[in-house]
Structure 1
Amino acid sequence: MVAALLTLSVGVPVVLLAGGASDVEVGEPATAASPTENPTTAAARQVAERITAQLDKQAAALLGGDRSAFAAIAATAVRPELRRRFDALRALRVTHWQGRPSGLPTSAGRAGEWRVSIEFRYCFVVPNCQPSPMVVETRWRDGAEPRLLTLLKSKSSATVNGRYNGQPGALPWEVSKLAVLVGKRVMVASTPAHRDRLPGLLKRAEAAAKVADTYVVTGTAPDLYRVFYAGRKEWERWYGGDQPEWGAGYAINVGGGHHEVVLAPETLDYGPGLDELLRHELAHTASLPDKDYWDNSAWWLIEGLAEHAGADGQSVARYEGLVPTRRLVQDDWNGKLDKLMPADDAPHEQVAGNYGIAYLAFRHLVDRFGEERAFAFFKAVVYDLRPPAQTTEEIFGQSWASLRKECAAYVRKAVR
């Protein structure tokens, strides 16, 4: 049952290397030194200037398709890794790439060697997208043209320079060879071992994107939906790999207003369930804000909207999760919605019931008040971080206590 396997990864959700040819500002560590500046600080600033020049050369090589020049800024031992990353980024049709030191370099403990965090910003396919940021740790040997000695993979982080709520773990193109197809609204990617599955996945994802486009809560639809299909090894490595045991897919924030969808191993064999999964996850991409600051009490609303998209207008009676939802409701559900988020190790049937309650509660809002007001409520709670008790009077004309009881009654009636 697909609904039992859907999951949203939020708030952990962004990383490779190189400077770029763009007007987008990233960091300004290389400003002119003050005459009274500490000599150590002045030296670090000069190193940052030289590293920035190398990153700019590398960005120009990436955007210009020069694989050798992209790897040339690094020591010999690092170049094979850079060439692999170059191939993955070119497959993803990188359109913007820029790297800048994030703060000043510090001594790496050996003469002439420096450590520094590098912030990269990038776009795929779309030339003028809002770039996604990522920060990685690096080590360099200084000189007229510094050489990259170490490039770490990105790690999960609570913040990226205060600009948005964190970055995920290692991105697919940091750790894997990739095969990629691009359609009108969707880019799909996986490892070369699954290359032959991509045309079918792209066709189905394009259909799901048409549905997801109607779930934009505010602003405009995503400029491009990004879907990555993970094999078993990739599922445990991509984006940190820390997913619930019951998860079959998730949408993860990579910054710059972008969420990427990851499909778990074997989901391509779900049959019609794959279409529901794609609609669900792409609806997350369309509906969620760039700032992932909500708490777990909003889980039912976030997942209820996505389940509604997954159902795509079918009657409640045809919802696949009705049986496990009935069991959960008749067992010990207390009628509340703010504690529905399942534990990572929760039994599959319980998870299916949690998703089912979320779907039915959101379905009631849509059926009674219409999508416009249901979306306004979603925006108030998820975007503006307002408790439901502060919003239901102005949006729905009744108290949250009254509306919650109404939603609970609808759920109980639907599963009889």
Structure 2
Amino acid sequence: MHDAEEVPAAPPMVSGPWSSPPAGFAQIPGQRAPQASEFFPSTHPLAQPFAQLPVEVGDLPPGIVPVPFPAPPSRRGRGLLVGAALALAAALAVGAGVVYVNRAPLSLNERAAAAGPEPTAARTPLTPAEAAVAALKAQAAALLANNEKGWLAAVDPGQSKLRTRYTSMFRALRGLGVSHFDYQTSVDPVDAKSGTVQVTAEVAYCFSTDKCPEEKYNASDGPPTISQVLTFKKVSGRYVIAKVTEKKSRSRQQPTPWESGELSFLSGERVTVIGNRTERKYFKQVLAAAEKAAVVNDRFAGLVGNPQRRYRVYVAGAKQWKTWYGGITDKWVIGYAIPLKDSGSDVVLNISAVRTDSDVLATTLQHELAHVVTLGGAYRTGGSDDMWLEEGIAEYVGWYPRSATDSWRRSAVRSLLAGSKRPKTIAAKAPGDNASPDTSDAFYGFGHFTADCLARKYGQGALFDFVRLYLRENRDLDPASREAFGKPFTTVDKTCLTWIRDKV
């Protein structure tokens, strides 16, 4: 889904839960499968080539924040929805990071920073809170410097399981090409009984293949974040992490894959496939299909001004599907594109649902990568009113170069236009949370026909100009239509309604 994107599957009359598209489904002509690199786990010393790009360590944010940070506007997600379950878009909305304190603010950063370079005699002993924040600052710097020993120095040496978890986290982040990692913290008073210190941390992160907004402001949600509650205790004179807690949350999109265990990687020319060891046997199959989808989407990325340095596709097994980014429980969803705020997007596949049907795998990947290029990295303020174009353009790209008349959704659209609730505008309202599979199927198909009409009547370049203006630049509907098509939206609307009725 973007922000997680969904696509209904074949209509109910097609037999089987994941029935193939009609015979003759187009493959992109002239494309060969990529020569993939060898499998290598995140423990491999070379990890990912792009993980070695230069990185910078940002200044530590204020250690104590006396009031909550203002929450940015909520943003939706999308996924490859097979049948229905449009409610998932709302359920995967990106939540805002909020940090609270329950005591007077301390100047943690200044004191922690000053403690390093000063002569020993001049140092003021750090409070437990300051020591905990200093340990996190040093840990973040070690990660960006590719210093695993320094990263683990912040973790209790007596807890092997916790250190294994942090080792996997380090190697996954390095394999993904981490380029920014920063703790924003609030600290509770020392627990008088246990002597421990509890730190609530917002962790902001970016990868080198994505853009990295520096901070939240009125035109950006800032970098992606996760939330952790860390418990520090004193060991051999130092405060170290003794416990880490994060809650599974769809609204917070947690846990991320890199928090959730060791990852393996397989890289092609344009795509990196990522997953746990148990899913590595599917990596070559997914990579071959994803590389073909990337070739198609690279062209459209250029048309909307959002070229991608590299695509990431996560292969989720049953456990990961129910946990990564908060987990998916709806049985109809087989894939989604999840936004990393304004930084970029990840694609996640439910491998058990797509591995046995090459056409479903190809269409799913081409559709989801379309969400990455048309919506990824854009600061969006639109709501569900935009879904007609978001999903229509993803269907257009997902089926490209075949037209909407070749889609398995055509019969659902025909039924929609013959019914009493036929749409009166191409900007159709998205179905409700409890929409039937037929209703959802018709909505996606109608969006596909709409995009097809705009391309055929006004040119493909004009269609993607419209997508850029309306979806990525937040232009209003009529000004975007006038600039892209040279006509008011009311005229374009009537033209395409007539065209769709004729073609269906």
Deviation at 1:236, TM superposition (A): 1.9
Aligned residues: 383
In the alignment, which residue of structure 2 is the partner of 1:23?
56
Residue 367 of structure 1: aligned partner: 456
| 1:107 paired to 2:189 | yes
Task: State which of 131, 135, 153 in structure 1 corresponds to 2:226.
Answer: 135
Structure 1 window deviating more from structure 2 (61-70 vs 242-251): it is: 61-70
Give the CA deviation at 1:374: 1.3
Write out per-residue CA displacement over residues 237-264 of structure 1, whole angstroms, 9 at most, x where no aligned residue. Answer: 1111257553221111113521000112
Gap change, CA 1:29 and 1:63, over 3 Å in 2 = closer
Residues 244-259 of structure 1: pairs in structure 2 closer than 5 A: 245-259=331-345
Identify which of 456, 472, 476 aligns with 1:387: 476
Displacement after TM superposition at 1:212 (Å): 0.8
How do 1:149-164 residues align onto structure 2 when only pairs under 5 Å count?
149-153=242-246
State the partner residue of 1:302: 390
Partner Cα distance (1:243, 1:367) in 2:
38
Task: Pick closer, same or farther for the CA change 1:181–1:350 going to 2, 3 Å.
Answer: same
Give the Cα–Cα distance (whole angstroms) in 1 for the partners of residues 226 and 59 of structure 2: 11
Structure 2: gaps spanning 5 or more residues: 1-5, 11-53, 65-102, 112-127, 214-222
Contact 2:168–2:261 (Cα < 8 Å) also in 1 = no
Question: Could you tell me how far 1:373 is from its partner in structure 2?
Answer: 1.6
Task: Give 1:227 deviation, angstroms.
Answer: 0.6
Could you say which structure has the greater relative contact order, defined with CA pairs below 8 angstroms and 6 or more residues apart?
A: 2
2:217 corresponding residue in structure 1: none
**Which residue of 359, 367, 373 corresponds with 1:272?**
359
Contact 1:222 1:258 in 2 (8 A): no
1:309 Cα offset (Å): 0.8
Partners in 1 of 2:367 and 2:293 — Cα distance? 8
Q: 1:375 to 1:146 in 2, by over 3 A?
A: same
Pairing 1:326–2:414 present: yes
User: In 2, distance between residues paired with 1:352 and 1:218?
Assistant: 26
Alignment check: 8 A CA contact 2:462 2:485 kept: yes
C-alpha separation between the residues in 2 aligned to 1:65 and 1:25?
A: 15
Alignment partner, residue 368 of structure 2: 281
Q: How does 1:182-261 map to 2 (within 5 A)?
A: 182-216=267-301, 217-242=303-328, 245-261=331-347
Structure number with higher helix proportion: 1
Q: Alpha carbon RMSD of aligned pairs, Å? A: 3.2
Equivalent residues of 1:70, 1:82 under 8 A apart:
no
After superposition, what is the alpha-carbon deviation per residue over 1:122-168, rounded to whole angstroms, capped at 9, x for unaligned? 426x4x8638532322334366632113323366597xxxxxxxx52
Q: Which amino acid aligns with 2:482?
A: E
Q: What secondary structure sits across from 1:359 in the alignment?
A: helix
In the TM superposition, residue 311 of structure 1 has moved relative to its aligned partner by 1.1
Distance 1:154 1:116 in 2: 12
- Counterpart contact for 1:373–1:395, Cα < 8 Å: yes
Q: Please list every run of 5 or more consecutive structure 1 residues that lacks an aligned counterpart in the other structure.
A: 7-20, 32-38, 159-166
Q: Deviations over 1:318-376 (max 9, x none)?
A: 22221222222222222334444234543323222111100110111111111222122
Q: Name the structure 1 match of 2:204.
A: 120
Deviation of residue 230 (structure 1)?
Answer: 1.7
Shift of 1:222: 1.6
Contact residue 56 and residue 99 of structure 1 kept, 8 A: no
1:404 and 1:48, CA in 2 relative to 1: closer, same or farther beyond 3 A?
A: farther
Equivalence map 1:7-156=2 (5 Å)? 22-25=55-58, 27-29=60-62, 41-42=105-106, 44-45=108-109, 46=111, 50-59=131-140, 62=143, 69-75=150-156, 79-87=160-168, 89-91=170-172, 93-96=175-178, 98-107=180-189, 109-110=191-192, 111=195, 113-123=197-207, 126=209, 130=212, 132-141=223-232, 145-153=238-246
Residues 252 and 3 of structure 1, relative CA distance in 2, 3 Å threshold: closer
Greater mean alpha carbon deviation, residues 286-295 or residues 40-49: 40-49
TM-score w.r.t. the length of structure 2 is 0.67
Q: Does 2:178 correspond to 1:178?
A: no
Among all aligned residue pairs of Structure 1 and Structure 2, give the percentage whose two residues are the same amino acid: 24
